[in-house]
Every structure is written in structure tokens, then in C-alpha cells.
Amino acid sequence: MTDGMTLLGAVLDHVEKHGSITNRECRELLDISYDHAIKLLGGLSSVGVLERTGTASGTKYIRGSKRPPPHKVETVMGDVERLLKRGKRL
């Protein structure tokens, strides 16, 4: 089973290599559903790890300009791990 920090690492590696990540790229990279990708990317954006740019199908997420407190990142990743434990396709 993949944990939340592994997912976070994969997303951040992708952003570092390519400059951004889209919902589609996130789903393909992590083999997760559309809704879970939105929750993951939105959560990372809400704490400042990523920054959302564009709208609708042009939405991309780039590296956030601020460094969030670790406890906020842990909260988001805990939410991701709870989804994984439910056995649902993430």
C-alpha cells in the first residue's frame, strides 16, 4: 500500500522535473481517480505546497512560493492516507 508521503514525493518530483502538474498527469502518475486527484492537489494547494494556476481544463499546479508548516502538510497527507485505507481506488 502506498502512503501519503510517497504520493507527495511523486507529485513534487513531477513538478520539479516538468515545472507543473495537471489533474490528468496526477491521475496517470499515481493511478488515482479524478476526484481523489482534485482532493490531493487542492489540499496541497490549500497549505501552500502547490499553487494553482489557470482555470477549468487549463488548470495546472506549480511549486508553491511559501513553505507551509509541517503539521499542515501532515494533515493533508493524513487525509490522503485515510482514503487509501478505505480501499477505494485513489
Predicted local confidence at residue 90, as pLDDT: 43
Alpha carbon distance 57, 51 (integer Å): 16
Residue 87 binned pLDDT confidence (cut-offs 50, 70, 90): low
Alpha carbon distance 40, 23 (integer Å): 9
Write out the H or E segment, with its range, that includes residue 35. helix 34-46
Are residues 46 and 57 in contact, defined by beta-carbon separation less than 8 angstroms?
Answer: no
Alpha carbon distance 75, 33 (integer Å): 20
Predicted local confidence at residue 28, as pLDDT: 94
Predicted local confidence at residue 1, as pLDDT: 36
Instruction: Please state the pTM of the whole predicted model.
Output: 0.78
| Torsion angle in degrees (nearest 10) through CA of 79, 16, 13, 82 | 0
Give residue-wise pLDDT tens across range 4-59: 667 788 999 999 999 999 999 999 998 888 888 888 898 888 888 899 999 998 99
